[in-house]
Structure 1
């Protein structure tokens, strides 16, 4: 991405340059997207993350800062933006906190509300995790600090932990590899996984 976005001979990139390279064509082709597609929200989200990545405040990102922009979960000073963006996605009523329903809905969406599916066992486990471990003040909601403790606790490799969770849950034959059959058998686990950005990756790629 660095080589793609940054002009040869330069060692920094500004927000304007990044925006034009990433979204310029989108802004010229608004009518080509499905009704309801809101790329302006994506621009706002990226700009907020870009400015937080600018550690030295010079309004441009060097390679290390760009790495923080692309992978905020791997940089300690970017932890707040990971929480902010996750709460943006989960907090449907925009009250600044995450209810149990919002938490569960983000992991597991019932497509036919007139004939609800039987709740999978792993969803019931998530309800218990919410109540027993994540909602530390027991008020029925996850606050910013509770979300932060869950998503990016100190000295915790979140990506490793989620990958380990997927392997241990989906790897039926325990060979430390995931076959196509194993993935399809536990598709709902992948849709609910933070490693796949709460299932968004699977919804965007036809090969899944």
Structure 2
């Protein structure tokens, strides 16, 4: 069954069903701190109506979830988000959005398993919230790009973001509006380009060593 997804400008577009010839599944994880827009990104770019595990926030989370700069947030992901993009007749990209709160970090190892790479979504108003995601990905040896989600906050330069997050020069930093399908798609393209560059460099290094 086709589904229709709404965009910020009020337009809708039909999303195709999974083709019967689809045989190759690729996995990408979207990670980041609490309230940075991971659920929104998966929803905006997915070909299907995404699976969400959002629940209404209650008083039980007071003093646990840091709502600074996101006081209007009323729901939170308690497991993961799941979406899908059909790349061609046989290849499908599966998107998993990881929960941002510390009490759900134990789920990340399972979500990272088998992934090609990751998008670290950051809110420049709360850059420190991205530290754990980056550290975990580096420990796992998972390639990633950093996407600065536009929340209308302070406009830090790429250099400032790199310094604040202690990123190596080879980690791409891109702009993003998680509400926009096109912008979210461009982030994924940047990740694919990064993965291709890493694979090409590794192949060249192997040829040089023989």
**TMscore range, shorter length:** under 0.3
TM-score (norm 2): 0.27
TM-score (norm 1): 0.27
Larger Rg: 1
Structure with the higher fraction of residues in helix conformation: 1
Structure with the higher fraction of residues in strand conformation: 2
